[in-house]
């Protein structure tokens, strides 16, 4: 799943550690999400969207894939 | 939106540091608990492979109380990725233990190797699980 996390984070001048602290996850988790190695849970995805004051679909894009 | 330079001392960094400190404290307490159980076992030793019954019971009860507590509090300090990595590593360790134990048993039935050793199986499972966890953590 693609996401705009790295761009949104850079716009605010936050490091991965800063964003992780605000979300309650580790820097490694932020990195894994940004690089697409880890798809966040729905709870975390909502927390991320809420932090950036955006809709969840404005942060994450699953290319309309259906499993 | 205007791009601002990266900062390392925002509220998020402070929260991350506090979280990391909490995690370290829990790890230290878990280690102290393990050392306490080890100490009970050393104190109750009467010879190679022999433990006084009351010390053996005390060690098992202490472990039965401390291990679930350590697992619970360590789990509280993990985020979802770390929890997933731990779950994957535990599954890998379990498969390795089942396959290794079964394979060793069958080979010993065939007279090719000595009887399986529980201690070696438990230690190997622990090492394999930790190794797999470290590998997953490095990849993420």
Question: Residue B54 pLDDT > 60, yes or no?
Answer: yes
Q: Phi first, then psi: what are they for B114, rounded to 5°?
A: -70, 170
Closest Cα in chain A, distance from residue B71 (Å): 19
Q: What distance in Å separates the CA atoms of residue A19 and residue A49, rounded to the nearest whole number?
A: 12
Q: Do B71 and B83 belong to one domain? A: no
Q: Nearest by CB to A14, from B12, B19, B84: name it.
A: B12
Closest Cα in chain A, distance from residue B64 (Å): 30
Residue B35 lies in a domain: yes
Q: Do B39 and B85 belong to one domain? A: no
Q: Contact B12/A22, CB-based, under 8 Å?
A: yes
What is the interface pTM, i.e. ipTM, of the complex? 0.86
Architecture of domain A2-53: Orthogonal Bundle (1.10)
Mean local confidence (pLDDT), B49-68: 90
DSSP A33-52: HHTTS-PPPHHHHHHHHHHT
Q: Do B71 and B84 belong to one domain? A: no
Which of A16, A19, A23, A29 is the best mutation test for B, with the most CBs of B within 10 A? A29
* Count of domains forming chain B: 2
In terms of CA atoms, which chain A residue is nearest residue B84?
Answer: A38
Mean local confidence (pLDDT), B47-59: 86
DSSP E strands, A1-67: 2-3, 60-61
Q: Do B27 and B59 belong to one domain? A: yes
Mean local confidence (pLDDT), A17-37: 94
- Put simply, whether the predicted model's pTM sits higher than 0.90 gets the answer no
B38 touches chain A (CB under 8 A): no
Mean local confidence (pLDDT), B50-75: 90
Q: Do B52 and B112 belong to one domain? A: no
Residue B1 lies in a domain: no
Domain boundaries, chain A: 2-53
A7 touches chain B (CB under 8 A): no
Q: Do B37 and B24 belong to one domain? A: yes
Q: Do B27 and B54 belong to one domain? A: yes
A26 touches chain B (CB under 8 A): yes
Percent of chain B with pLDDT over 90: 61
Mean pLDDT of the residues in chain B: 89
Residue B68 lies in a domain: yes
CB burial string A7-24: b at 16+ within 10 A, e below = ebbeebebbbbbbbbbbe
Residue B132 lies in a domain: yes
| Choice between B9 and A13, residue whose per-residue pLDDT is larger | A13
Contact A8, A15 (CB under 8 A): no
Q: Which pLDDT score, from 0 to 100, does residue A66 have?
A: 59
Q: Residue B56 belongs to what domain range?
A: 7-77
A44 touches chain B (CB under 8 A): yes
In terms of CA atoms, which chain B residue is nearest residue A15?
Answer: B6
DSSP B106-125: HHHHTTSSPPPPHHHHHHHH
Q: Which pLDDT score, from 0 to 100, does residue A67 have?
A: 57
Q: Do B68 and B33 belong to one domain? A: yes
Q: What distance in Å separates the CA atoms of residue A49 and residue A63, rounded to the nearest whole number?
A: 18
Q: Which pLDDT score, from 0 to 100, does residue B8 have?
A: 54
pLDDT tens, B107-135? 999 999 999 999 999 999 999 999 999 99
Q: Do B66 and B34 belong to one domain? A: yes
pLDDT tens, A37-56? 999 999 999 999 999 999 99
């Amino acid at each position: 799943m693609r996401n705009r996390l790295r761009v949104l984070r850079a716009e605010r001048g936050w490091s991965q550690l800063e964003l992780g602290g605000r979300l309650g996850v580790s820097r490694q988790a932020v990195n894994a999400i940004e690089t697409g190695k880890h798809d966040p849970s729905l709870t975390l995805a909502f927390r991320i969207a809420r932090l950036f004051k955006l809709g969840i679909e404005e942060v994450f894009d699953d290319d309309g894939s259906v499993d | 939106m205007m791009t601002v330079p990266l900062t390392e001392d925002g509220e998020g960094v402070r929260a991350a540091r506090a979280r990391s400190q909490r995690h370290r404290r829990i790890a230290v307490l878990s280690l102290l608990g393990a050392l306490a159980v080890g100490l009970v076992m050393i104190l109750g030793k009467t010879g190679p492979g022999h433990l006084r019954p009351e010390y053996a019971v005390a060690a098992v009860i202490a472990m039965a109380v401390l291990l679930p507590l350590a697992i619970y509090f360590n789990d509280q300090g993990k985020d979802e990725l770390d929890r997933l990595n731990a779950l994957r590593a535990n599954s890998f360790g379990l498969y390795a233990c089942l396959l290794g134990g079964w394979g060793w048993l069958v080979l010993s039935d065939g007279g090719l190797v000595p009887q399986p050793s529980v201690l070696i199986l438990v230690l190997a499972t622990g090492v394999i699980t930790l190794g797999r966890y470290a590998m997953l953590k490095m990849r993420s």
